[in-house]
Structure 1
């Protein structure tokens, strides 16, 4: 089924009609990064996007992520796993949400909304606690973004490969239910009323950007992720919508 969704080309200011494909698999959460896309269904089944369709792999998880740090997941007991050669390997720690988009590190939050970043050294996993409380946390090459339990937005400053804890947080205007940072540093999010927004003005000199811009999408959504020229959206009914989207202006800056 082909769904026509109207998007504004945010970086040029011109309006255009873009054809978006609605896939047949229903998901509750997905993550696109480093050229791959993984997702989980309401009953915990794990899928990845291969060529033109979703394919299921073994495992039953609550949240899955893919990025420069690999493919990771957490289950309903908050146990943490990493995918290696299509085998899920349990590692130490407890998290309810996890993100592999950082520069070779993993980040996430636990059941008490405590924030952590993870570093691998061989088979050892070390956890670094980050001050504050967040229910959702996502990282990219220009820093990390998070949402707390009253939907306030925070940007974590000075996050690097060797210092994943950063040096402090800055509150950003707006109210969101989730936020995802792309592999290229672009930021997309969902508002409390199901609108999809992107952060404008992001650059290495100004990684927090300047303002939120609402995308002109003909639907209401609960999840969004972006990678490699495609926007991935989960509608309220669980349908996954894949839209070609202009390459981020960040690609020429990073």
Structure 2
């Protein structure tokens, strides 16, 4: 179970890892089963149980990277993004950060209005493995696997 908010939008997963989007006072079910979901100016991003990264693209039939969306209208609304993460976060400025199972922190490069899924991942060097991160107002907050909380400017 997990919840995330950004720019007045709220997304969550229940204990069965089913994702939802809050519209007014009603939760709208999103497709798939997700380990983690986040929302912000860069859209809705998720990680499934196989640690695959996706970006929700409501109604857009496009090709990203090496994964082609189903052109016969059977797409569930998610576009595949390269890489494997344990958690992902979309910041209010549109930045996307994530942590992999080894505790390495990454940021998504090349996010623009014309390419909202970005172009690749860059490692953010840290001196100990992390289990969680969040980013806002130019500050990257991280929690290490041993429970130490740190903040740095990025």
| Secondary structure at 2:102 match in 1 | coil
Please say which structure displays the higher CA radius of gyration: 1
The equivalent of 1:23 in structure 2 is: none
The counterpart of 2:50, out of the listed 150, 156, 160, is 150
- 2:8 matches 1:104: yes
The equivalent of 1:236 in structure 2 is: 145
The counterpart of 1:182, out of the listed 85, 91, 98, is 91
Q: Distance in 1 between matches of 2:39 and 2:9?
A: 9
The equivalent of 2:125 in structure 1 is: 216
Q: Distance in 2 between matches of 1:107 and 1:205?
A: 24
Deviations along 1:157-214, whole A, 9 cap, x unmatched? Answer: 149xxxxxxx811011111100000001100000111100000000111110000111
CA contact (8 A) 2:110 2:119 kept: yes
CA contact (8 A) 2:42 2:96 kept: no
Matches within 5 A, 1:12-161: 96-101=1-6, 103-120=7-24, 125-158=25-58
| Secondary structure at 1:135 match in 2 | strand
Q: Distance in 2 between matches of 1:229 and 1:131?
A: 32
The counterpart of 1:198, out of the listed 85, 100, 107, is 107
CA contact (8 A) 2:107 2:123 kept: yes
Q: TM-score, normalised by structure 1?
A: 0.52
CA-based RMSD of the aligned residues comes to 1.4
Aligned length: 138
Q: Distance in 1 between matches of 2:145 and 2:11?
A: 26
Q: Which 5+ residue runs of structure 2 have no aligned equivalent?
A: 60-75
Structure with the largest fraction of strand = 1
- 2:135 matches 1:226: yes
| Secondary structure at 1:204 match in 2 | coil
| Secondary structure at 1:208 match in 2 | coil
Q: Distance in 2 between matches of 1:235 and 1:115?
A: 26
CA contact (8 A) 1:188 1:226 kept: yes
| Secondary structure at 1:205 match in 2 | coil
| Secondary structure at 1:131 match in 2 | coil
Q: Distance in 1 between matches of 2:116 and 2:93?
A: 12
